[in-house]
């Protein structure tokens, strides 16, 4: 007798957190604290960039969008996990699972695209300082962010529709804290070949291409910095992109580590725990990474520290570019 295909399953079981009540209490307190720090830190960045006119520059415009996306990205997974621990429940509705997966893909894709756009912004600032404000004008910046939203939305919408076409024989049991795409697809009764192909193709589009663009941008940045004669000039030029480079390394490092570990080990609980690094820890650390660079400059006023820093670096790079061109001609 063939199993009955039921695409309208009632619930999904999320089995990512342990059974012990003591450990669940510890996890609840830990991740609630991390979530609040993440929201507070990113909100402060958003409020600072909006309220301070000195921070109305392309770099901080992209940073504001990244902070907003990080809040949404973490909220998509952590809030449901905290509610489940508090209510001693491990279930999420099928519709809720699809919705969570859709927004998780949306905001993770936005993270990737925004980091790529920010690398392009640093590339223009270092390699073409005299034309920076012309190239990275307000209209161009808004179009870049809009393109990030459109591409990420289409990607998440594609995967959501691809999952909706699958049939499931029983209620899903996922060894994760949230509805992770691969695990949902691989629990289907129907053929998943097309879904797997779409996942692999979009993985190249979302991971390989953006990372290649980031590496290309930084290769050009390093080449430009090497042409600067003074050590102080090189330090100031590199400091304009040090924070972004740290965030990119942290994001790709944790994400790559999770998927490499999942490929090596079959322990799904270990993979679920490791995935919290890029869904919770990385978004929480982003505000601290960007703030630490500003705090290093003691002479700047606290209220408009980032803006004066960026302006001084822009002026310095412009002067260096003029000096280099004068030497050439």
Classify burial at 133, counting beta carbons within 10 Å of its beta carbon; exposed 0-12, middle 13-18, buried 19 or more: middle
Q: Can you give the pLDDT at residue 303?
A: 45
Measured on CA atoms in the order 189, 194, 197, 201, is the torsion positive or negative?
Answer: negative
Number of domains the chain contains = 1
pLDDT of 220 above 90: yes
Q: Can you give the pLDDT at residue 153?
A: 97
Both tokens of residue 138?
């307000």
pLDDT tens-digit series, residues 237-287? 777 788 888 888 888 877 776 666 555 555 555 566 667 777 888 888 888
pLDDT tens-digit series, residues 162-176? 999 998 887 788 888
| Least confident window among 5-19, 78-92, 100-114, 122-136 | 5-19
Both tokens of residue 14?
């999320």
The β-bridge relationship of strands 11-14 and 172-174 is parallel
Q: Can you give the pLDDT at residue 267?
A: 54
Mean of pLDDT values over 128-144: 93
| Cα 31 off chain centre by | 18
| DSSP structure class, residue 84 | H
pLDDT of 324 above 70: no
Do 12 and 97 meet the contact criterion of CB atoms below 8 Å apart? Answer: yes
Read off the pTM: 0.84
Q: Can you give the pLDDT at residue 308?
A: 43
Q: Percent of the chain having pLDDT more than 70?
A: 80
DSSP H/E element including 81: helix 58-86
258 domain-assigned: yes
Which has more pLDDT, 51 or 102?
102
3 domain-assigned: no
Domain of 185: which CATH number? 1.20.1070.10
Euclidean distance between CA atoms 100 and 7, whole angstroms: 17
Both tokens of residue 203?
């993985």
How open is the CA angle 158-258-64, to the nearest 5 degrees?
Answer: 65
pLDDT of 7 above 70: no
Which has more pLDDT, 288 or 149?
149
Strand order in the sheet with 91-93: 91-93, 11-14, 172-174
| Least confident window among 96-105, 178-187, 224-233, 269-278 | 269-278
| Least confident window among 119-128, 195-204, 249-258 | 249-258
Do 301 and 308 meet the contact criterion of CB atoms below 8 Å apart? Answer: yes
Coil, strand, or helix at residue 13?
strand
Q: Can you give the pLDDT at residue 272?
A: 64
Beta strands in 19-107 (DSSP E): 91-93
| Least confident window among 34-43, 159-168, 302-311 | 302-311
Q: Can you give the pLDDT at residue 322?
A: 43
Q: Which of 7-21, 141-155, 189-203 has the highest mean pLDDT?
A: 141-155
Alpha-carbon distances of 19 from 60, 87, 274, rounded to whole Å:
43, 13, 18
Do 117 and 61 meet the contact criterion of CB atoms below 8 Å apart? Answer: no
28 domain-assigned: yes
Do 156 and 148 meet the contact criterion of CB atoms below 8 Å apart? Answer: no
Q: Can you give the pLDDT at residue 270?
A: 57
6 domain-assigned: no
Give the domain extent around 304: 11-328
125 domain-assigned: yes
162 domain-assigned: yes
5 domain-assigned: no
Euclidean distance between CA atoms 250 and 66, whole angstroms: 14
pLDDT grade, residue 9 (50/70/90)?
confident
pLDDT of 320 above 80: no
Q: Can you give the pLDDT at residue 258?
A: 66
Per-chain mean pLDDT for the chain: 80
Coil, strand, or helix at residue 15?
coil
2 domain-assigned: no
Which has more pLDDT, 138 or 308?
138
């Amino acid at each position: 007798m063939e199993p009955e295909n039921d695409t309208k399953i009632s619930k999904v079981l999320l089995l990512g957190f342990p059974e012990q009540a003591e450990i669940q209490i510890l996890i609840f307190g830990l991740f609630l604290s991390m979530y609040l720090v993440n929201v507070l830190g990113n909100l402060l960045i958003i409020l600072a960039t909006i309220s301070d006119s000195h921070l109305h520059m392309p770099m901080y415009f992209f940073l504001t969008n990244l902070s907003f996306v990080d809040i949404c990205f973490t909220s998509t997974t952590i809030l449901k996990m905290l509610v489940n621990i508090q209510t001693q429940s491990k279930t999420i509705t099928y519709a809720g699972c699809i919705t969570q997966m859709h927004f998780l893909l949306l905001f993770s894709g936005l993270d990737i695209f925004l980091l790529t756009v920010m690398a392009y912004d640093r590339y223009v600032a270092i390699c073409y300082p005299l034309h920076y404000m012309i190239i990275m004008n307000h209209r161009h910046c808004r179009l870049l962010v809009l393109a990030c939203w459109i591409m990420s939305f289409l990607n998440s919408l594609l995967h959501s529709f691809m999952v909706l076409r699958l049939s499931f024989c029983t209620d899903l049991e996922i060894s994760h804290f949230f509805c992770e795409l691969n695990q949902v697809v691989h629990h289907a009764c129907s053929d998943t070949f097309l879904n797997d192909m779409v996942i692999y193709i979009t993985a190249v589009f979302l991971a390989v291409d953006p990372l290649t663009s980031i590496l290309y941008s930084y290769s050009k940045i390093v080449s430009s910095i090497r042409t600067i004669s003074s050590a102080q000039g090189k330090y100031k030029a590199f400091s304009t992109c040090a924070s972004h480079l740290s965030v990119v390394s942290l994001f790709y490092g944790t994400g790559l580590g999770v998927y490499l570990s999942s490929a090596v080990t079959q322990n799904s609980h270990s993979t679920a725990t490791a995935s919290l690094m890029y869904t919770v820890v990385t978004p929480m650390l982003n505000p601290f990474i960007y703030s630490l660079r500003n705090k290093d400059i003691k002479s700047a006023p606290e209220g408009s520290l980032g803006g004066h820093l960026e302006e001084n670096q822009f002026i310095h790079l412009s002067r260096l570019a003029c000096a280099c061109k004068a030497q050439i001609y």
